Structure 1
Amino acid sequence: MTKGTQTIEDTILELEQRIQELKDDTEQDNSSDQIEQLEKQRLSLQKKMYSNLTPYEIVKIARHHLRPPFSDHLKLIVDDFIELHGDRNYGDDNAIVTGFGTIGGNKALIIGQHKGKTTKERIDSNFGMPNPEGYRKALHKMKLAEKFKLPIVTLIDTPGANPDIGAEERGQAHAIAINIAEMSKLRTPIICIVIGEGGSGGALGIGVGDKFSILEYAYCSVISPEGCAAILWKSKDSTEEAANALHLTAKELYKLKIVDEVIPEPTGAAHNNPEEMSRILKETIVRYIEELQVIPIDKLVDKRYQKYRKIGSFLGGE
């Protein structure tokens, strides 16, 4: 973050520490009044800090180590979750979790990209970078959802698909391309929401839907700012310039008509109030399901196709 923003963040941390000290000290009679005043100051500073963020600062928030991952939202949003494993071809992929469950009384297929929270989990899930078997697993379960006429909900959070040699040898690009093509014509409602990072083909492999939305401090981009800076400027010093050029923030994506909605985050972003973020996310998903289920399936699939055909603009000569 910038120097000015960092100063505000330091003040917020000091206020939080003071609030916690007052909560632990049960002997002070007026502690509740002091806590209330400090909470107001903290909220005011958070609003100020988050009202003037640069694109690269938003990228950092999307990557915040305390930002609630898919696994946290899964516990708070989905009831009776039954996980499904494997792609029936090569193996399982911990970076993509699939399964059936209930969201607000609606049965659905839930797919999410799993980054992990502990060091072991992060290594096991390849830091949220899926392999081709993960995308094949996701598509196989989507076909099941289509068969049983159940909506599909995907929660996207990946820096990108796994780019290593093994993944390429097993058909990484082909798996993503097949998913994009098949999702465009699946005869069931599809809801896609970027909850953190939306990295390139890694996001697109489970990111074609009737609703494509993004959380307020998430981002979606064809490449990471660091990767863009390395290619175009041959220097990591140009990372902020790259972030500005990529138009990767939620507001910019909405302005470009790439996302349907920017879903608001609690004051101070999702990592400051994960439970509230999950509540907002659940309400949004339930609203989307109710909106999409009343649309005739032929019309739904046609609208989805036309939606993605219209993304992007260009100028042509005579």
Structure 2
Amino acid sequence: MIPQHLDFEKPIAELERKIEELRELTASGKVDFSEEIKKVEKKVKKLQTETFSNLTKWQKVLLSRHINRPYTLDYLSLAFTDFIELHGDRNFKDDPAIVGGLAKIEDQPVMVIGQQKGRNTKEKIYRNFGMPHPEGYRKALRLMRMAERFGLPIVTFIDTPGAYPGLGAEERGQAEAIAKNLREMAVLKTPIVSIVIGEGGSGGALAIGVSDKVLMMEYATYSVISPEGCAAILWSDGTKAELAAEALKITADDLVELGVIDGVVKEPVGGAHRNYDMAAANLKKAILDSFDELKKLSPDELTDKRYDKFRKMGMFIEG
């Protein structure tokens, strides 16, 4: 994978390149730059801490979309074992924008379902840029019902700009497929944990996010609309996306404060794309901790609490 850097990451990347050059010179045996390397490494750590502790909401939006960010299949290979992918909705076809199947986390068998993006052009087209068709959501629901039948907990990974809005998707019932998932997930009698690992866009994200525990990676976003879409509607100017990002309250810190999500999974300094192993370890712990809490509840208690949790969102008081 070729590292790519956002504008605010470039000063850090330049220092890291300098470290690599010094290491190569030291390895050649001509000059020892060990002390200089330590000094530059110290500068990098300081700059990373300063940069990532003062990110704007728009910068977090850009991080949530970072091309090098770990995707569902990356987390599946690092935090889970024995993954067996299951295909198709038994109605139309398989949708590669949603992957799912049986896996284990520690010794716990689970059903894992997640939206999957691509990194190169070929993968992006194959995965439809992580935007599922209705058959993707119907596949997800089929696997969730299977999990309920066999008493398996469910883990979902949310990472999509939104459900695919194309003509074919609409003809095959995109809105109905999403609405059905919302209804059915609300009453599934098995624990469900969802994690927003990148972009959580609109109903396309919520369609696999009606869960007992909704978590977000530290630099993920979760919103009813993209900042660009919001800016186009409110100001007829998509270039005001940065302003919209501030207003939408779409970052993990905002949403845990508003009670929309239940917790934030810390990322390595510099973001999950800088250290897949640490990001996956933190995510794995968060999932296991959630299961430890949820397994104490009966199936009826699970659905009652899930219902109450989502009914409380968006409350208002009339003056």
Q: What's the TM-score bracket when you normalise by the shorter of the two chains? A: over 0.9
CA distance in 2, matches of 1:168, 1:106: 38
What does residue 49 of structure 1 align with? Answer: 51
Query: Cα RMSD over matched residues?
Result: 1.4
Give the equivalent residue in structure 1 for 2:138: 136
Is it true that 1:66 corresponds to 2:68 in the alignment? Answer: yes
- Per-residue CA deviation, residues 193-229 of structure 1 (Å, 9 max, x unaligned), is 0000000001011001000010110000000000111
CA shift at 1:28, angstroms? Answer: 5.8
Question: Partners of 1:313 and 1:180 in 2: how far apart?
Answer: 19
Instruction: Compare 237-246 and 253-262 and name the one that shifted more.
Output: 237-246
Contact 1:106 1:286 in 2 (8 A): no
Aligned-pair distance for 1:143? 0.4
CA distance in structure 1 between the partners assigned to 2:225 and 2:201 by the alignment = 6
Counterparts of residues 208-247 of structure 1 (less than 5 Å): 208-247=210-249
Count of residue pairs brought into register by the alignment: 312
Q: Percent identity?
A: 53
Contact 1:156/1:193, CA 8 A, preserved across alignment = yes
Query: Where does residue 316 of structure 1 map in the other structure?
Result: 318
Q: 1:38-82: per-residue Cα shift (whole Å, max 9, x none)?
A: 222111111111111111111001011111111211111110100
Please state whether the residue corresponding to 2:177 is helix, strand or coil: helix
Q: 2:120 aligns with which of 93, 97, 118?
A: 118
CA shift at 1:34, angstroms? 3.3
Are 1:77 and 2:41 counterparts? no
Match of 2:11 in 1: 11
The equivalent of 1:181 in structure 2 is 183
- Provide closer, same or farther for how the CA distance between residues 75 and 32 of structure 1 changes in structure 2, counting only shifts above 3 A: farther
Q: CA deviation at 1:22?
A: 2.7
Task: Say whether the 8 Å CA contact 1:254–1:261 is kept in structure 2.
Answer: yes
In the alignment, structure 1 segments of 5+ residues that lack a partner are none
Asked if the contact 1:188/1:297 (under 8 Å) is kept, the reply is yes
Note the C-alpha offset of 1:315.
Answer: 2.3
Partner residue of 2:272? 270
- 1:74-126 Cα offsets, whole Å, 9 max, x none, are 11111010000000111110000010000122110000100012211110110
SS in 2 for 1:181: helix
Deviation at 1:182, TM superposition (A): 0.5
What residue identity is the alignment partner of 1:18? Answer: K
Quick check: 26-35 or 69-78, which moved more?
Answer: 26-35
Q: Does 147-156 or 67-76 show the bigger shift? A: 67-76
In the alignment, structure 1 residue 207 sits paired with structure 2 residue 213:
no
Partner of 2:38: 36
CA contact (8 A) 1:193 1:214 kept: yes
Change (3 A) 1:287 1:31: farther
For 1:222 and 1:40, how far apart are their aligned partners in 2?
Answer: 40
Residue 287 of structure 2 is matched in structure 1 by 285
Distance 1:9 1:118, change over 3 A: closer
Aligned residue for 1:190? 192
Task: Note closer, same or farther for the CA distance 1:12–1:222 as it changes in structure 2 (3 Å cut).
Answer: same
Q: Equivalents in 1 of 2:132, 2:187: separation in Å?
A: 23
What is the CA–CA distance in structure 1 between the aligned matches of 2:103 and 2:173, rounded to whole Å?
Answer: 30
Amino acid at match of 2:262: D
